[in-house]
């Protein structure tokens, strides 16, 4: 029983070593996002990164991760949550995270999309299409900044009172 758990933890450590700094940052932010939900009562840990996409363009870097989480025995309200053991046969949600970072020395988040739920829920066609559309919108963030001014662009902007 301990061998599969040790093997799983070893694979998580190996996967974390292969992640870029931006991917590790996204994992950290997704865990914070997930734990901020009011329906989450226990601490969850990263089990695996099932898919990672990282693309650079002139406007910045796009990172997309599909992250599997596993529930631990620690409640999230406990002050000391360091050595939380994972609980077998409990909730194992999957999170999809799409982040767009600017091209600065210290990358700043331009846009993001996070969605966590049971893995079977993320496979539903409607949710999958919505997730794909949201991630495409995140990937396009920051590209409009470099767009040239077009005549009539601000034709419908509200003016100052006279």
Interval 31-50: pLDDT, tens = 999 999 998 999 999 999 98
From the list 144, 56, 67, the residue with the least C-alpha distance to 100 is: 56
Interval 52-75: pLDDT, tens = 999 998 889 999 999 999 999 899
Confidence category of residue 146, pLDDT binned at 50, 70, 90? very low
Map tokens 């993001």 to a residue: 112
Confidence category of residue 97, pLDDT binned at 50, 70, 90? very high
From the list 54, 63, 52, 46, the residue with the least C-alpha distance to 12 is: 46
End-to-end CA distance of the chain: 76
Residue 148: pLDDT over 80: no
Residue 27: pLDDT over 50: yes
Domains of the chain: 2-145 (3.10.450.10)
Mean pLDDT for the chain overall: 79
Residue 7: pLDDT over 70: no
The whole-angstrom separation of Cα 137 and Cα 139 is: 5
Whole-number pLDDT of residue 144: 60
Confidence category of residue 8, pLDDT binned at 50, 70, 90? very low
Whole-number pLDDT of residue 36: 92
**Which of the residue ranges 24-28, 58-62, 87-91, 137-141 would you say has the lowest mean pLDDT?**
87-91
Residue 157: pLDDT over 70: no
The H-or-E segment that residue 7 falls in is helix 2-17
Query: Two tokens at 104?
Result: 């600065």
């Amino acid at each position: 029983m301990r061998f599969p758990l040790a093997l799983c933890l070893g694979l998580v450590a190996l996967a974390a070593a292969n992640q870029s700094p931006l991917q590790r940052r996204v994992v950290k932010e997704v865990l914070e996002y997930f734990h901020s939900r009011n329906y989450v009562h226990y601490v969850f840990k990263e089990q695996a990164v099932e898919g990672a996409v990282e693309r650079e363009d002139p406007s910045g870097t796009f990172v997309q991760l599909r992250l599997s989480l596993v529930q631990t025995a620690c409640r999230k309200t406990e002050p000391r949550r360091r050595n939380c053991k994972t609980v077998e046969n409990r909730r194992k949600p999957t999170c999809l995270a799409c982040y767009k970072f600017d091209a600065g020395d210290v990358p700043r988040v331009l846009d993001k999309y996070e969605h966590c739920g049971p893995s079977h829920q993320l496979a539903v066609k409607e949710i999958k299409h919505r997730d794909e559309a949201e991630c495409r919108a995140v990937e396009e963030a920051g590209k409009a900044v470099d767009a040239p001014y077009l005549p009539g662009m601000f034709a419908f902007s509200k003016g100052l009172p006279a």
